[in-house]
Structures are given as C-alpha cells and as structure tokens.
Structure 1
Amino acid sequence: MSKSPRRTYRTGLSREIVVDAAVALTVERGLDGWSMRDLTAYLDTSLSVIYHHVGDKERVCASVVDRIYAGMNLAVDESDWRTLLHDVLTLMIDHLARYPGVASWLLRNGPQTELLLPLLDVGVTRMLEAGWGDEAAIAYSFAFNTCLGAIALGDLDVSDPDSGLVGLGRMLESHPSTGSGAAQMQWMVARFTGDVADRAAARQEYCRYTLDRILDGLEARLSEIVSAGSAPR
C-alpha cells in the first residue's frame, strides 16, 4: 500500500485525515491488525500528532467505528421492532464484512460510539411499544450481539491447515465411512474454506440465517409475554 505524502508533524493533518488512514488500515489488516506505530508510519508523522488530533488507540478505534457506521446510513424510523432489527442487522452484516475486527470491537466495547446512540434509543423504544417490558433491552442486545458474533467469526483466519474449519475438513475427509450427518458437515466446511468469493458468500448466508432464526425466536418469546398478559419482571 502506498503511504500518504510525506508531512512534517502536524502540517496538513486533521482529525478526518487521521481517521481516513485508520479506516484504510482496518480494511487492509483488520481493526486489531494495526498499531499506533503503523498509523504514524502510514501518515509519516509522530505519535504526539495522532494524540493531538484524535487520541489514543481506543479513541482512534472508536472514531473508525463511528466512520464505518456513518457510511451505513442506518434508518431508525421503522415502527415495527422486527422490521427495524431485520433491516439494520442485515445492513450491518453486509457492511461490516468489509471491515474485519469491527464486529469484535463492538462485542468487547458495546455501543459506545455517538452514532449508535440514536439507533439504540429508537430500537429499545420500539421493543417497549411492542410489549417487551423489562425484557426489551435484553432482547435487543441479544439480537445485536449474536449477529456481531456471527460476523466476527467470519473475520477469523481459516488458512491454517491444522486448525479451525480447515482442520475439521481434513478430519472428516480422513473418515469416509461416516454417515450423512458428517457428509453434510463436510459440505458446509468446504463452502467456508473455499476461495475468497465462496467464503464471503458462505459467511453472508450464515449471518443472514442466524439473523432470521434470532428474529423467529424473539417473535415466539414476545408471543409468550403477550399471552401471559404482562411483561415479566
């Protein structure tokens, strides 16, 4: 990757340029795959300049997440909780796949970025309006965190021949006498360990399947709450 033009300390730098560089490094290496030293080298500047414009690594990462979420143009005006979650999380599944490590960061840190607060407020409000009661925030967080976990799984390296899905695939291939269940698993593993395009398609399908089953389960739980006549405490 080519670096930005050479600069002398703060000359020509701004918060936006620093975050732009951090986003570029995230696309290339993942959010956890670059250091502040890498960022200063990319910008050809000093660590003190990064601190002056943005802050430490966690502040830079939070700014990267904000920038990425701003690019999603999330709609928060849906009146139905399930439609809102489906639309937002589907968009998140497609968008975050391009930025490795962001899903894991959100799992570790939660929605601590300013751009996520309106979505959090509207989403939980829709859950309350639907009758979720004291389970509203828990159910909403469950949907988000489970989807984030599925996305984060897709960021893992599957190239190691002795571990992960590749290792499982080799083990299944070495036992040809196994039944239809193992054969089905072998088919799935092959999709997740194929070429780049096949892996991306398999990850997207898996995440969308996860989302649909989450929403089905939440719908069933809401029916139980409504049937009981009041939200449990």
Structure 2
Amino acid sequence: MSKAPRRAYRTGLSRDVIVDAAVALTAERGIDGWSMRDLTGRLDTSLSVIYHHVGDRGRVCAAVVDKIYADMALPIEETDWRGQISGVLSPMIDHLARYPGVAAWLLRNGPQTEGLVPVMEAGVTRMIEAGWGDEAAEAYSVAFNTCLGLIALGDQPAGSGESGLTGLQRTIETHPQAGPGAERMRELAARFTGDAAAAARREYCRYALDRVLDGLEARLHALKTAGSAQR
C-alpha cells in the first residue's frame, strides 16, 4: 500500500502552534539543532504553510526568542538602573539554560525581536535617568552581552579527558609549581564537572553579573564626579 501524501495544510494550524512547536524543538535540540524539515515533520504540514504563517527560518527563530522572553514576563517598571538590569538578566540565567543556543543567537543578532524592545527601552532609559549620558547604551550592552556570553558558553558541550576541565584539574595537581593560587583554580574547575555542573554555571553567571554591575557603579560615580568638577 502506498503512503498517503503529506497534507499541504492542517486544520487548526496557526502562527502560535508553529512557534510553540519550534520552541519545543529548541528545548530538545537547541535553536541551531533543528531544521525547517524537522519543524514540518513535527507539525505534519508543508514548508509553504510555515512560510505563510511565520516566514523563513530566521523569522521562525526570532519568533521563538520572542516567545521565550514573553514566558519570562521580564520586569520593566523598576526605577533603579541596577535593579532594572539585574531584574532582567538574573531570571534569564535560569530560563535560557533550558533553551540551548538562544543566548548565542541573541549575541549574533542583537535584540531584534518585538518582545525585547520594551525591555531594552526600559533599561537604557533608566541608565540615562541615572546620569550615564552618552555612555548609557554602551554600559547597558556590556552587562547584557557579558551575561549572554556566559550563558552561551555554558550551552557548549564540555570537553572530556585531557581536553576538558578534568584534564585541567589533573594538570594542576601534578604541576611542580602549583601552589595555593593554582589550587583555588583547581577547586573552581571541579565545581563545573559532575552532576552539579549546571547549577555551578548558573551561580558563576550571577557572580559575574554582580561584579559587572559593581564595576558599572564605579564608572557612574566617576562620571558624576567629573561632571561636578566641571560645573
């Protein structure tokens, strides 16, 4: 018996259904780990239907990122610039870990999705109001991109044996010049291996975010001091 041809459309198929399926594939395989053929197979539909409702793969991925951000319900009402940035980036550390590749996608493409525009607008506006002046956008992007970069790094498969963190630990343990400083690094590397590695990466991201914000606060103080001196 011959196999029935795939239907060109499916009753009830909509943009939301297509995007939800793409989000599910992203959670399973990462945003770069599935193709449009995978998506049509998941939905039992044709490529033309997806193009009609959403667009090409680039538009589908942008819609996936929008959906992921909408699910986070990121706050935009915080009046303090540091609280605004922390309130956005801290939950991202946990949430984006469930969707491999999304952080790297954002680093490559920037905040081009609709859901990110209000978040970006609120963050940079708070920076301007706090006195960052011409450096507002740069300072905001430093915090945003640092956090995204660490999340993206955590998405990468860890090396094994001599090429991974286990190899680094072994090198430190056997090196004749390894002392207290190297031992601290060995202890840090050990936290990123084993069953607790994912939690350790998220903790490290939060530590890095706090230190970046500390540095930005110091820079803002310097800007305000210089401004006062000029008056």
What is the TM-score with the length of structure 1 in the denominator? 0.90
Question: Counterpart in 1 of 2:212?
Answer: 214
Quote the offset at 1:171 in angstroms: 3.1
Question: Counterpart in 2 of 1:10?
Answer: 9
What stretches of structure 1 move > 4 A for 4+ residues in a row? none
Quote the offset at 1:64 in angstroms: 0.4
Q: Supply the AA of the counterpart residue of 2:214.
A: D
SS in 2 for 1:71: helix
Question: Counterpart in 2 of 1:113?
Answer: 113
Structure 2 residue runs without a partner (length 5+): none
Quote the offset at 1:46 in angstroms: 2.0
Aligned partners of 2:139 and 2:164: how far apart in 1? 30
Question: Counterpart in 2 of 1:40?
Answer: 40
Q: How does 1:75-90 map to 2 (within 5 A)?
A: 75-90=75-90
1:96 touches 1:103 (CA, 8 Å); kept in 2?
yes
Q: How does 1:74-153 map to 2 (within 5 A)?
A: 74-153=74-153
Aligned partners of 1:174 and 1:186: how far apart in 2? 11
Q: Supply the AA of the counterpart residue of 2:7.
A: T
More displaced 10-residue stretch of structure 1: 49-58 or 98-107: 49-58
Match of 1:225 among 201, 223, 226: 223
Quote the offset at 1:118 in angstroms: 0.9
1:158 touches 1:166 (CA, 8 Å); kept in 2?
no
Q: Supply the AA of the counterpart residue of 2:16.
A: E
Aligned partners of 2:54 and 2:169: how far apart in 1? 44
The number of equivalent residue pairs is: 224
Aligned partners of 2:168 and 2:94: how far apart in 1? 27
CA RMSD of aligned residues (A): 1.9
> What is the CA deviation profile of residues 75-117 of structure 1, one whole-angstrom value per residue up to 9, with x for unaligned ones?
1011110111111111111211111111000000000001111
More displaced 10-residue stretch of structure 1: 49-58 or 218-227: 49-58
Aligned partners of 1:126 and 1:176: how far apart in 2? 51
Aligned partners of 2:166 and 2:21: how far apart in 1? 33
SS in 2 for 1:114: coil
Match of 2:199 among 198, 201, 205: 201
Larger Rg: 2
Aligned partners of 2:161 and 2:32: how far apart in 1? 23
Q: Supply the AA of the counterpart residue of 2:67.
A: R
